[in-house]
Amino acid sequence: MTAFTSMQPQTSSRVSQLAGSPLRQQHKACFSASRRSLAVRASGDGSRVDKFDKHSIIVSPSILSADFAKLGEQIKAVEAAGADWIHVDVMDGRFVPNITIGPLIVAAIRPLTDLPLDTHLVSSFAISYHLLPHLLQASPCAKLSSGNITAELQMIVHPEERVADFAKAGSDIISVHAEPAATVHLDRTINQIKDLGVKAGVVLNPATPIETIQHVITQVDLILLMSVNPGFGGQKFIEYQVEKVRKLRQMCNDAGVSPWIEVDGGISGKNAYKVIEAGANALVAGSAVFGAPDYSEAIKSIKTSKNPAHERQPVHA
């Protein structure tokens, strides 16, 4: 406790010193540029999503499980294999314990496919103030270089400050978390996404009740239920999400709306039927597709997944 208290004056001093510095001004300019991008026409186009029938089953392979050294090649391969959408997980390292990609990657893959880019912002609105001086000093618009590779670090501390960047980069669906630790003004953010001409989605973590989104259910185009705790690929499917999907479908029916109901986490051909029967019509699959020897067979097995009990034929004497 003493060590923490002793750091506070130093931290406050450093923040104060940086407030009027050129670094701070550059940092502000970086965020101002992001806000100005709201006025720029988005490359993402919600009409790509409208081409798909909600009575069919959509498979959206997650590039989180792809080989990033061959990302373009693998995106083209899963499209040829029958993928419907491409799922993009954007993580900031605070809301979940991982950091993934930013709008530059979305912009890079946009010309490679005409499939909808289904972008999931797994981000937090908060940032520790004791880290702020270090982040500003090290990287106002955070860039790191290694050899001939330059990577831009996008700290997504407010989803509403980044949705324009992803729409401009080419995302056709942008989904944000409903949890208050991620999105402070959910209604505002959803409408901001829709104003950009792309589809708006809302995401619920496994333990977040569906009642959390009852006031925005009529506004969203897609509801994504996480069937693993987000942050890493290759996790085991959480079984109680099946009942959650069923209750969400009933909630939508009662409200007279029909958004896409998407499920992400631990989905494969062996268990996809569980959430399909419960009412899901869009399934995210990462390692089940990119880790399979045959992309086409993996995608087909998810789309046609059946309950083994229904497959058994009665034995006649």
All residues at 6 or more sequence positions from 162 whose CB lies less than 8 Å from its CB, including other chains = 34, 103, 121, 123, 154, 156
Active site residue 264: yes
Out of 45, 84, 89, 118, which one is annotated catalytic?
89
Distances (CA, A) of 93 to 31, 98, 292: 19, 5, 28
Residue-wise burial string across 11-35, b where 16 or more C-beta atoms lie within 10 A, e elsewhere: beebeeebeeeebbeebeeeeeebe
| Contact call for residues 109 and 86 (beta carbons, < 8 A) | yes
Out of 92, 118, 221, 264, which one is annotated catalytic?
264
State how far the Cα of 178 lies from the Cα of 163, in Å rounded to an integer. 15
State how far the Cα of 243 lies from the Cα of 200, in Å rounded to an integer. 24
Active site residue 92: no
Catalytic residues: 89, 264
